Amino acid sequence: MYNRVSKEHISYLNKLKRRKKIILTTQVAIFVVGLILWEVAAQLSLIDTFLTSSPSQIWNTFWKLAREGNLFYHVGISVFENVVGFTAGTLLGVLIAIGLWWSDFAAKVAEPYLVVLNSLPKTALAPIVIIWIGTGYDGIIVTAITVSIVITIMNMYNSFISVDEDKIKLLKTFGASKFQIFKKVVFPHSIPDMISTLKVNIGLSWVGVIVGEFLVSRAGIGWLLVYGSQVFQFDLIMMGIFILAIISVAMYKIVSVIENKFTKWNQ
Protein backbone atom coordinates (compact mmCIF):
# COMPACT_ATOMS: atom_id res chain seq x y z
CA MET A 1 0.00 0.00 0.00
CA TYR A 2 2.84 2.39 0.88
CA ASN A 3 4.68 1.62 -2.38
CA ARG A 4 1.80 2.80 -4.55
CA VAL A 5 2.81 5.77 -6.70
CA SER A 6 0.32 8.59 -7.03
CA LYS A 7 -1.01 9.71 -10.40
CA GLU A 8 0.45 13.15 -9.83
CA HIS A 9 3.92 11.69 -9.31
CA ILE A 10 3.61 9.54 -12.44
CA SER A 11 2.50 12.60 -14.39
CA TYR A 12 5.46 14.55 -13.06
CA LEU A 13 7.92 11.79 -14.07
CA ASN A 14 6.39 11.58 -17.55
CA LYS A 15 6.71 15.35 -17.86
CA LEU A 16 10.42 15.12 -17.01
CA LYS A 17 10.92 12.36 -19.60
CA ARG A 18 9.15 14.40 -22.28
CA ARG A 19 11.28 17.42 -21.43
CA LYS A 20 14.48 15.37 -21.76
CA LYS A 21 13.33 14.03 -25.14
CA ILE A 22 12.48 17.53 -26.36
CA ILE A 23 15.90 18.82 -25.26
CA LEU A 24 17.70 15.92 -26.98
CA THR A 25 15.62 16.33 -30.15
CA THR A 26 16.37 20.06 -30.23
CA GLN A 27 20.10 19.44 -29.77
CA VAL A 28 20.17 16.91 -32.61
CA ALA A 29 18.05 19.16 -34.84
CA ILE A 30 20.39 22.12 -34.35
CA PHE A 31 23.37 19.94 -35.28
CA VAL A 32 21.67 18.47 -38.37
CA VAL A 33 20.38 21.85 -39.58
CA GLY A 34 23.86 23.31 -39.12
CA LEU A 35 25.37 20.54 -41.28
CA ILE A 36 22.70 21.01 -43.96
CA LEU A 37 23.25 24.78 -44.11
CA TRP A 38 27.00 24.23 -44.26
CA GLU A 39 26.66 21.78 -47.16
CA VAL A 40 24.20 23.99 -49.04
CA ALA A 41 26.50 27.00 -48.66
CA ALA A 42 29.39 24.92 -49.98
CA GLN A 43 27.43 23.61 -52.97
CA LEU A 44 26.24 27.11 -53.87
CA SER A 45 29.80 28.47 -53.52
CA LEU A 46 28.71 30.86 -50.79
CA ILE A 47 31.77 29.81 -48.80
CA ASP A 48 35.28 28.87 -49.85
CA THR A 49 35.48 25.09 -49.37
CA PHE A 50 39.26 25.26 -49.58
CA LEU A 51 39.23 27.03 -46.21
CA THR A 52 36.07 25.61 -44.61
CA SER A 53 35.66 22.22 -46.33
CA SER A 54 32.12 20.75 -46.35
CA PRO A 55 30.27 17.85 -44.68
CA SER A 56 30.38 15.78 -47.87
CA GLN A 57 34.14 16.27 -48.28
CA ILE A 58 34.69 15.43 -44.62
CA TRP A 59 32.62 12.25 -44.99
CA ASN A 60 34.52 11.21 -48.12
CA THR A 61 37.84 11.69 -46.32
CA PHE A 62 36.55 9.73 -43.33
CA TRP A 63 35.32 6.88 -45.50
CA LYS A 64 38.57 6.76 -47.49
CA LEU A 65 40.75 6.55 -44.37
CA ALA A 66 38.37 4.03 -42.79
CA ARG A 67 38.57 1.72 -45.81
CA GLU A 68 42.35 1.95 -45.84
CA GLY A 69 42.47 1.17 -42.11
CA ASN A 70 44.60 4.22 -41.30
CA LEU A 71 41.81 6.03 -39.45
CA PHE A 72 41.30 3.38 -36.77
CA TYR A 73 45.06 3.14 -36.27
CA HIS A 74 45.39 6.88 -35.59
CA VAL A 75 42.22 7.05 -33.46
CA GLY A 76 43.25 3.97 -31.48
CA ILE A 77 46.63 5.47 -30.59
CA SER A 78 45.11 8.76 -29.42
CA VAL A 79 42.37 7.04 -27.41
CA PHE A 80 44.95 4.78 -25.74
CA GLU A 81 47.14 7.76 -24.82
CA ASN A 82 44.14 9.69 -23.54
CA VAL A 83 42.70 6.86 -21.43
CA VAL A 84 46.06 6.11 -19.82
CA GLY A 85 46.82 9.79 -19.19
CA PHE A 86 43.29 10.50 -17.97
CA THR A 87 43.27 7.53 -15.59
CA ALA A 88 46.78 8.06 -14.27
CA GLY A 89 46.32 11.81 -13.86
CA THR A 90 43.07 11.35 -11.94
CA LEU A 91 44.37 8.58 -9.68
CA LEU A 92 47.64 10.36 -8.90
CA GLY A 93 45.81 13.62 -8.28
CA VAL A 94 43.38 11.96 -5.85
CA LEU A 95 46.20 10.17 -4.01
CA ILE A 96 48.22 13.37 -3.63
CA ALA A 97 45.10 15.22 -2.45
CA ILE A 98 44.56 12.51 0.16
CA GLY A 99 48.17 12.96 1.31
CA LEU A 100 47.68 16.73 1.62
CA TRP A 101 44.48 16.23 3.61
CA TRP A 102 46.26 13.73 5.84
CA SER A 103 49.16 16.09 6.59
CA ASP A 104 48.28 19.71 7.20
CA PHE A 105 51.99 20.54 7.20
CA ALA A 106 52.43 19.08 3.70
CA ALA A 107 49.36 20.99 2.50
CA LYS A 108 50.73 24.32 3.76
CA VAL A 109 54.12 23.65 2.16
CA ALA A 110 52.63 22.58 -1.19
CA GLU A 111 50.01 25.35 -1.42
CA PRO A 112 52.12 28.07 -3.17
CA TYR A 113 53.58 25.53 -5.60
CA LEU A 114 50.12 24.26 -6.54
CA VAL A 115 48.92 27.83 -7.08
CA VAL A 116 51.88 28.55 -9.38
CA LEU A 117 51.46 25.30 -11.32
CA ASN A 118 47.74 25.90 -11.71
CA SER A 119 48.32 29.41 -13.06
CA LEU A 120 50.87 28.25 -15.63
CA PRO A 121 49.64 27.28 -19.11
CA LYS A 122 50.20 23.53 -18.92
CA THR A 123 50.83 23.22 -22.65
CA ALA A 124 53.90 25.42 -22.23
CA LEU A 125 55.46 22.63 -20.18
CA ALA A 126 54.89 20.05 -22.92
CA PRO A 127 58.22 20.56 -24.75
CA ILE A 128 60.13 20.25 -21.47
CA VAL A 129 58.21 17.12 -20.45
CA ILE A 130 58.81 15.48 -23.81
CA ILE A 131 62.54 16.29 -23.70
CA TRP A 132 62.78 14.80 -20.20
CA ILE A 133 60.60 11.72 -20.78
CA GLY A 134 61.17 11.00 -24.45
CA THR A 135 59.50 11.42 -27.81
CA GLY A 136 57.44 8.22 -27.74
CA TYR A 137 54.09 7.37 -26.19
CA ASP A 138 55.51 7.93 -22.70
CA GLY A 139 56.16 11.62 -23.32
CA ILE A 140 52.66 12.21 -24.69
CA ILE A 141 51.00 10.32 -21.82
CA VAL A 142 53.01 12.22 -19.21
CA THR A 143 52.02 15.47 -20.94
CA ALA A 144 48.36 14.48 -20.58
CA ILE A 145 48.97 13.67 -16.91
CA THR A 146 50.64 17.02 -16.19
CA VAL A 147 47.71 18.89 -17.72
CA SER A 148 45.08 17.20 -15.53
CA ILE A 149 46.84 16.33 -12.29
CA VAL A 150 47.09 19.82 -10.74
CA ILE A 151 43.40 20.64 -11.13
CA THR A 152 42.56 17.20 -9.73
CA ILE A 153 44.71 17.79 -6.66
CA MET A 154 43.21 21.20 -5.97
CA ASN A 155 39.59 20.19 -6.56
CA MET A 156 39.80 17.04 -4.46
CA TYR A 157 41.77 18.63 -1.63
CA ASN A 158 39.26 21.49 -1.39
CA SER A 159 36.48 18.90 -1.36
CA PHE A 160 38.17 16.91 1.41
CA ILE A 161 38.62 19.93 3.69
CA SER A 162 35.05 21.18 3.10
CA VAL A 163 33.51 18.30 5.08
CA ASP A 164 31.36 19.36 8.01
CA GLU A 165 33.66 19.70 11.02
CA ASP A 166 30.89 18.61 13.40
CA LYS A 167 30.76 15.19 11.76
CA ILE A 168 34.51 14.78 12.10
CA LYS A 169 34.40 15.88 15.76
CA LEU A 170 31.61 13.39 16.42
CA LEU A 171 33.66 10.51 15.02
CA LYS A 172 36.71 11.63 17.00
CA THR A 173 34.55 11.62 20.13
CA PHE A 174 33.83 7.92 19.54
CA GLY A 175 37.54 7.24 19.07
CA ALA A 176 37.62 6.93 15.28
CA SER A 177 41.04 6.91 13.64
CA LYS A 178 41.99 9.29 10.85
CA PHE A 179 41.65 6.48 8.32
CA GLN A 180 38.15 5.67 9.58
CA ILE A 181 37.16 9.34 9.39
CA PHE A 182 38.39 9.50 5.80
CA LYS A 183 36.70 6.23 4.83
CA LYS A 184 33.33 6.88 6.50
CA VAL A 185 32.86 10.62 6.02
CA VAL A 186 35.43 12.49 3.94
CA PHE A 187 35.69 10.23 0.91
CA PRO A 188 31.92 9.56 0.50
CA HIS A 189 31.29 13.29 0.81
CA SER A 190 33.78 13.99 -2.00
CA ILE A 191 32.50 11.48 -4.58
CA PRO A 192 30.26 14.04 -6.38
CA ASP A 193 33.23 16.40 -6.66
CA MET A 194 35.36 13.54 -7.94
CA ILE A 195 32.85 12.82 -10.69
CA SER A 196 32.80 16.49 -11.64
CA THR A 197 36.59 16.45 -11.76
CA LEU A 198 36.46 13.41 -14.06
CA LYS A 199 34.32 15.39 -16.49
CA VAL A 200 36.84 18.24 -16.51
CA ASN A 201 39.79 15.87 -16.88
CA ILE A 202 38.36 14.35 -20.05
CA GLY A 203 38.91 17.60 -21.93
CA LEU A 204 42.19 18.42 -20.20
CA SER A 205 43.66 15.00 -21.02
CA TRP A 206 42.74 15.45 -24.67
CA VAL A 207 44.52 18.81 -24.63
CA GLY A 208 47.67 17.14 -23.33
CA VAL A 209 47.48 14.30 -25.85
CA ILE A 210 46.88 16.53 -28.87
CA VAL A 211 49.63 18.98 -27.87
CA GLY A 212 52.03 16.07 -27.38
CA GLU A 213 51.11 14.65 -30.77
CA PHE A 214 51.56 18.07 -32.34
CA LEU A 215 55.15 18.11 -31.12
CA VAL A 216 56.53 14.60 -31.57
CA SER A 217 54.02 12.01 -32.70
CA ARG A 218 54.02 10.29 -36.07
CA ALA A 219 50.53 8.89 -35.55
CA GLY A 220 47.31 9.87 -33.82
CA ILE A 221 44.57 12.43 -34.29
CA GLY A 222 46.97 15.26 -33.45
CA TRP A 223 49.33 14.07 -36.17
CA LEU A 224 46.41 14.05 -38.66
CA LEU A 225 45.63 17.66 -37.73
CA VAL A 226 49.25 18.72 -38.18
CA TYR A 227 49.59 16.86 -41.47
CA GLY A 228 46.33 18.34 -42.77
CA SER A 229 47.53 21.86 -41.98
CA GLN A 230 50.89 21.24 -43.66
CA VAL A 231 49.33 20.08 -46.93
CA PHE A 232 46.34 22.49 -46.68
CA GLN A 233 43.88 19.60 -46.58
CA PHE A 234 41.19 21.19 -44.45
CA ASP A 235 38.71 18.33 -44.84
CA LEU A 236 41.24 16.17 -42.98
CA ILE A 237 41.54 18.80 -40.23
CA MET A 238 37.77 19.12 -39.85
CA MET A 239 37.38 15.35 -39.82
CA GLY A 240 39.91 15.11 -36.97
CA ILE A 241 38.05 17.79 -35.03
CA PHE A 242 34.72 15.96 -35.50
CA ILE A 243 36.25 12.68 -34.33
CA LEU A 244 37.70 14.39 -31.26
CA ALA A 245 34.30 15.88 -30.46
CA ILE A 246 32.51 12.53 -30.84
CA ILE A 247 35.01 10.65 -28.66
CA SER A 248 34.96 13.37 -26.00
CA VAL A 249 31.16 13.32 -25.89
CA ALA A 250 31.18 9.52 -25.61
CA MET A 251 33.63 9.64 -22.68
CA TYR A 252 31.60 12.40 -21.04
CA LYS A 253 28.44 10.29 -21.37
CA ILE A 254 30.18 7.33 -19.73
CA VAL A 255 31.06 9.50 -16.74
CA SER A 256 27.48 10.85 -16.70
CA VAL A 257 26.11 7.29 -16.55
CA ILE A 258 28.38 6.60 -13.57
CA GLU A 259 27.16 9.82 -11.97
CA ASN A 260 23.49 8.89 -12.50
CA LYS A 261 24.02 5.45 -11.00
CA PHE A 262 25.76 6.95 -7.98
CA THR A 263 23.01 9.56 -7.57
CA LYS A 264 20.29 6.90 -7.60
CA TRP A 265 22.26 4.76 -5.15
CA ASN A 266 22.83 7.75 -2.88
CA GLN A 267 19.15 8.62 -2.92
User: What are residue 58's phi and psi, to 5 degrees?
Assistant: -65, -45
Q: Is the pLDDT of residue 265 over 70?
A: no
- In angstroms, the CA 172 to CA 179 distance is 11
pTM higher than 0.85, yes or no?
Answer: no
Q: What is the pLDDT of residues 209-237, one digit of tens each?
A: 888 888 777 788 888 888 888 888 888 88
> Which range, 4-18, 77-91, 120-134, has the best average confidence (pLDDT)?
77-91
Q: What is the pLDDT of residues 172-215, one digit of tens each?
A: 888 878 888 888 888 888 888 888 888 888 888 888 888 888 87
Q: Do residues 98 and 152 make contact, with C-beta atoms less than 8 angstroms apart?
A: no
Q: What is the pLDDT at residue 169? A: 81
Q: State the fold for domain 52-266.
A: MetI-like fold (1.10.3720)
**Of 159, 152, 166, nearest in space to 101 by CA:** 159
Q: Do residues 55 and 38 make contact, with C-beta atoms less than 8 angstroms apart?
A: yes
